[in-house]
């Protein structure tokens, strides 16, 4: 995968999910359950990513040191911060859902876009993190 | 207490028509300490001390280690932390001597401190618009170099490359981070070692094409010593003689000082490090 694609794919996937949502005119299920679950998922991911960030940045392994020596460190930090902010944003949107009509089509569209972008950004970070950890000598 | 200190020699060449290194060193010496800080990779570096003495530039670099570090302890007392002032972190020191006449530098080796790649990058990014661009090339033992250059034929080449690590070029080529890590991992080895040999039969030599590989690898090792950790060439000084093995990596010009005095604060004093660099330079003077 090219670097450019790696940088944009969470948003491309989220955009595609938004298009499908639009195409099928979907809406969020009624009731606060979906909002409560979304809030929990967003909060767990935010916490997990904050911890993962601390572990990765302090990791003293050959591959991590090499990443630090190259400009890949900027990409890694950017991926981590995007994942954290998207998770945080997802929590925020879920909270807003308690005050607005969640059956509104545009609320659902924003919700699905952020949810998918967050999931893809999270997968991107975890994927890279596991590869780095696999590289770490025992 | 006395400890070992290793030093390496490098040839310094300005790229294209940029000013000689001494012009930049002069500029750095006129800057205040905070103005000398530059970021290379994810660390900040600074020229801590710079002075001109007997025609040589003596430069001491500091690498700011913005991460956790050791504590102080004895066998009888428990470990305790260091008292840091606000914004202070651990810092690693590396001394360099530069001779403007021969355009050679002698550099202390500090594994955790500024190393040649970072120092080169520090100089290159010191001013904007790439006014100063230099290349630090490791200096090799003249005898090994001479024997390699004067070889009549090459019988074998053994070289190793480290396939594990991504580098800046991967990024410039647009390789994704996950893929760059994976490429190294897929080899499942820390080191690829290859021997190309003409066998034991007399009067069989490696072709000119393979022979050129040795030259290319040597150049690669000079540019990036980490990329080629091993390079040995079996050469024939003349076609009737026996094979001689020249180790082009081990014969990098280096010197280990066995007993450098460690100060009361458990650091190598700057004066002692400068003195060692001067001694190393004097010993290698004829080779530069």
Q: Is B11 on the interface with A (CB under 8 A)?
A: no
CA angle B33, B37, B42 (to 5 degrees): 150
Return the H-helix or E-strand segment holding B231: strand B230-236
Q: Within the 11-40 window of chain A, which residues sit less than 8 Å (CB to CB) from chain B?
A: none
Would the pLDDT of B187 be above 70? no
Return the H-helix or E-strand segment holding B126: none
Establish if A103 belongs to a structural domain. yes
Nearest beta carbon to residue A63 from set B67, B170, B181: B181
pLDDT at B189: 59
pLDDT tens per residue across span A41-91: 999 999 999 888 888 888 877 778 778 878 888 999 999 999 999 999 999
pLDDT at B253: 83
Classify the phi-psi angles of B211: left when phi > 0, otherwise alpha if psi is within -120 to 50, otherwise beta: alpha
Least confident of A94-98, B149-153, B206-210, B222-226: B222-226
Tokens, residue B179: 């893929």
Mean pLDDT, chain B, whole residue set: 85
Residues A26 and A107 sit within 8 Å (Cβ to Cβ) = no
Chain A residues touching B164 at Cβ < 8 A:
62-63, 135
pLDDT at B53: 92
pLDDT tens per residue across span A122-136: 999 999 998 888 765
Q: Within the 57-96 window of chain B, which residues sit less than 8 Å (CB to CB) from chain A?
A: 67-68
Q: In which band, very low, low, confident or very high, does the pLDDT at A138 lie, cut at 50, 70 and 90?
A: very low
Q: Are B171 and A63 inside 8 Å of each other by CB?
A: no
Establish if A68 belongs to a structural domain. yes
pLDDT at B29: 94
Three-class SS state of B248: coil
CA angle B228, B231, B234 (to 5 degrees): 165
Chain B residues touching A67 at Cβ < 8 A:
166, 177
pLDDT at A59: 81
Nearest beta carbon to residue B41 from set A6, A58, A69: A69
Tallying the residues shown for chain A, one arrives at 138
Would the pLDDT of A11 be above 90? yes
Alpha-carbon gap, residue B13 to B56, rounded angstroms: 16
**Average pLDDT value for residue range A92-118:** 91
Q: Which residue has the higher pLDDT, B229 or A33?
A: A33
* Packed helices A72-96 and A33-58: angle between N→C axes, nearest 10 degrees: 160
Looking at the structure of chain A, the number of domains it has is: 1
Q: Is B184 on the interface with A (CB under 8 A)?
A: yes
Establish if A18 belongs to a structural domain. no
Chain A residues touching B179 at Cβ < 8 A:
1, 6
Establish if A91 belongs to a structural domain. yes
Establish if A112 belongs to a structural domain. yes
pLDDT tens per residue across span B230-263: 888 888 888 777 788 888 777 778 889 988 889 8
Tokens, residue B115: 């190393």
pLDDT at B204: 73
Tokens, residue B102: 């021969």
Q: Which residue has the higher pLDDT, B254 or B96?
A: B96
CA angle B87, B93, B96 (to 5 degrees): 140
pLDDT at B58: 96
Strand order across the B192-197 sheet: B192-197, B153-161, B230-236, B244-247
Chain B residues touching A131 at Cβ < 8 A:
178, 181-182, 185
Domain limits for position A114 = 46-138
pLDDT at B60: 96
Residues A90 and A114 sit within 8 Å (Cβ to Cβ) = yes
pLDDT at A15: 95
pLDDT at B139: 84
Alpha-carbon gap, residue B197 to A40, rounded angstroms: 63
pLDDT tens per residue across span B115-161: 888 898 899 889 887 678 888 888 877 777 788 888 888 888 888 87
Tokens, residue B22: 């001494």
Supply the Cα-derived Rg of chain B in whole angstroms.
22
Closest CA to A26 of A38, A34, A18: A18
Establish if A37 belongs to a structural domain. no
Would the pLDDT of B105 be above 50? yes
Q: What is the DSSP string of A59-115?
A: ---HHHHHHHHSTHHHHHHHHHHHHHHHHHHHHHHHHHTTTS-TTSHHHHHHHHHHH
Q: How many residue contacts between A and B have a Cβ separation below 8 Å?
A: 72
Nearest beta carbon to residue A70 from set B41, B176, B179: B41
Q: Looking at mean pLDDT, say which of A4-18, B10-24, B218-232 comes out highest.
A: A4-18
CA angle B185, B188, B192 (to 5 degrees): 105
CA angle B272, B273, B278 (to 5 degrees): 95
Q: Which residue has the higher pLDDT, B219 or B185?
A: B219
Establish if A77 belongs to a structural domain. yes
Tokens, residue B80: 């305790």
Q: Which of A72, A79, A125, A132 to mutate to test the interface with B (most CBs of B within 10 A)?
A: A72
pLDDT at A77: 92
pLDDT at B226: 62
């Amino acid at each position: 995968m090219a670097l450019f694609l790696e940088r944009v794919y969470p948003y491309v996937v989220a955009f595609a999910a938004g298009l499908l949502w639009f195409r099928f005119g979907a809406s969020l299920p009624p009731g606060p359950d979906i909002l409560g679950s979304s809030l929990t998922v967003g909060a767990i991911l935010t916490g997990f990513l904050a911890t993962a960030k601390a572990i990765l940045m302090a990791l003293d392994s050959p591959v991590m040191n090499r990443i630090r020596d190259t400009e890949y460190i900027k990409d890694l930090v950017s991926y981590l911060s995007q994942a954290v902010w998207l998770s945080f944003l997802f929590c925020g949107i879920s909270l807003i859902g308690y005050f607005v009509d969640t059956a509104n089509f545009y609320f659902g569209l924003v919700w699905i876009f952020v949810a998918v972008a967050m999931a893809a950004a999270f997968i991107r970070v975890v994927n890279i993190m596991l590869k780095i950890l696999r590289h770490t000598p025992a | 207490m006395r400890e070992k200190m290793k030093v390496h020699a490098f040839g310094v060449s300005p790229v294209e028509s940029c000013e000689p290194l001494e012009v930049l060193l002069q500029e750095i010496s006129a800057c205040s300490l905070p103005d000398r800080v530059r970021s290379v990779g994810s660390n900040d570096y600074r020229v801590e001390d710079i002075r001109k003495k007997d025609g040589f530039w003596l430069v001491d670099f500091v690498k700011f280690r913005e991460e956790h570090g050791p504590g102080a302890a004895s066998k009888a007392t428990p470990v305790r932390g260091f008292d840091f002032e606000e914004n202070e972190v651990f810092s690693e020191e590396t001394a360099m001597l530069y001779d403007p006449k021969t355009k050679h530098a002698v550099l202390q080796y500090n594994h955790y401190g500024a190393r040649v790649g970072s120092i080169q990058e520090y100089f290159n990014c010191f001013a904007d618009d790439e006014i100063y661009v230099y290349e630090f090339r490791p200096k090799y033992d003249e005898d090994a170099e001479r024997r390699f250059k004067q070889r009549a034929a090459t019988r074998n080449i053994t070289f190793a490359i480290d396939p594990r690590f991504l580098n800046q070029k991967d990024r410039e080529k647009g390789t994704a981070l996950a893929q760059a890590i994976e490429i190294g991992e897929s080899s499942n080895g820390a080191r690829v070692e290859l021997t190309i040999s003409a066998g034991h039969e007399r009067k069989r030599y490696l072709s000119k094409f393979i022979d050129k590989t040795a030259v290319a690898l040597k150049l690669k090792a000079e540019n990036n010593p980490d990329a080629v950790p091993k390079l040995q060439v079996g050469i024939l000084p003349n076609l009737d003689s026996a094979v001689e093995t020249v180790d082009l990596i081990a014969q990098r010009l280096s010197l280990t000082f066995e007993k450098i005095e460690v100060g009361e604060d458990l650091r190598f004093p700057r004066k002692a490090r400068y003195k060692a660099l001067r001694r190393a330079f004097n010993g290698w003077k004829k080779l530069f």
